[in-house]
Amino acid sequence: MPYASAQDHVRLYFEEAGEGSPIIFLHEFAADHTNWEPQMRYFSRGHRCIAYSARGYAPSDVPPSADVYTYKHFYTDALAILDHLKIAKAHFVGLSMGSYSSLQISLNAPERALSMTLAAVGSGSSLENLDAFRKQCRANAEQYETIGSAEVAKATREAPSRIPFLLKDPRGHAEFYQSLARHDAKGSANTMRGFQGGRPSIYTLTDAIEKVLTPALIMCGDEDDNCIEPSLFLKKHLSAAGLAFFPKSGHVLNLEEPALFNEMVERFIALAEAGRWGPRDPRSVATGHV
């Protein structure tokens, strides 16, 4: 099995396919590297594609301590994969947790990002509800440790933002939750405590976000309630961002609507590579004058 080594020597399992400008895919909390298969198959026709399982997600290592599951560990792990493959820059395509890490790379290592796709980004960012969200993350971590991943999967498969996936594709939805049921319970608990429950809200990063010039595509399902406002916020404050809402869609955009997802990301990457996805022209900003 191919592995890269993180800064703290955690082994990260990855897969790659294709040749061309590199794209690295960063998965969400409930997923792993396998959930990018529709994108790996499509984009590897013209790109070098890399998908990997984050720390805590087998076959990557599952460190025992939640202290090494911070958001800093997660975004630097993505860079460690690129370093291992001797890739200087890549397009970052993230979903949810993976989108947050992609954003952090553009904040902290912008020279490594050709572009960033931020799909289903920003859940848990509300400052008003932040304490309650973090408390819920701790409770979710305890649930993983108490009843295990299989039972958690049963309990969460009909969460509101997952229902559109179930309605559109019952077979795909079932496969997704069968995969979640196999996740390492300790790894999921540590990720929930360290990353999900410990990351800064994007609303506290406004000044830094406004300085980011990385081409960005923000995508959100119009039934993914927890990500709608964060997506609008990022559109407002990322100067080189475009925003797309997927109709009648929830959280798992790359699997709910793979054809639409692939088409939009493909067009975005082509425009970014051509230098045609730059910062917003100041002339297009409303001034209040008639």
> What digits encode the pLDDT tens for the residues 174-216?
999 999 999 999 999 999 999 999 999 999 999 999 999 999 9
Environment class of 113 (CB within 10 Å of its CB; exposed 0-12, middle 13-18, buried 19+): buried
pLDDT at residue 62, as a whole number: 98
Give 269's contacts (C-beta < 8 A, 6+ positions apart): 21, 23, 47, 91, 114, 115
What's the pLDDT band for 290 if we cut at 50, 70, 90? Answer: very low
Using the structure block, give the residue that is written with the tokens 């902290």.
Answer: 108
Asked whether residue 209 is assigned to any structural domain, the reply reads yes
Q: Across all residues in the chain, what is the average pLDDT?
A: 96
Asked whether residue 99 is assigned to any structural domain, the reply reads yes
Asked whether residue 159 is assigned to any structural domain, the reply reads no
Question: Residue 114 has which token pair?
Answer: 């050709």
Structural domain boundaries enclosing 270: 3-123+202-284
pLDDT at residue 284, as a whole number: 78
Q: Which CATH number covers residue 41?
A: 3.40.50.1820
How do residues 14-47 score in pLDDT, each as one tens digit? 999 999 999 999 999 999 999 999 999 999 999 9
Q: Are strands 3-5 and 11-17 parallel, antiparallel or unpaired?
A: antiparallel
Distance from first CA to last CA of the chain, Å, rounded?
63
Asked whether residue 240 is assigned to any structural domain, the reply reads yes
Predicted TM-score (pTM) of this structure: 0.96
Distance CA 229, CA 17 (A): 35
Asked whether residue 166 is assigned to any structural domain, the reply reads no
- Phi then psi dihedrals of residue 158, to 5 deg: -115, 35
- Structural domain total, the chain: 1
What's the pLDDT band for 283 if we cut at 50, 70, 90? Answer: confident
How many angstroms from the chain centroid is the CA of residue 4?
19
Asked whether residue 44 is assigned to any structural domain, the reply reads yes
* Interval 113-138 mean pLDDT: 97
How do residues 217-248 score in pLDDT, each as one tens digit? 999 999 999 999 999 999 999 999 999 999 99
- Phi then psi dihedrals of residue 215, to 5 deg: -55, 130
Handedness of CA 261, 263, 267, 273 (dihedral sign): positive
Asked whether residue 84 is assigned to any structural domain, the reply reads yes
* Nearest partner of 119 among 284, 212, 257, judged by Cα: 257
Asked whether residue 98 is assigned to any structural domain, the reply reads yes
Strands annotated E in the chain: 3-5, 11-17, 22-26, 48-52, 90-95, 113-119, 216-221, 241-246
Using the structure block, give the residue that is written with the tokens 């795909």.
Answer: 172
Question: Residue 34 has which token pair?
Answer: 């396998």
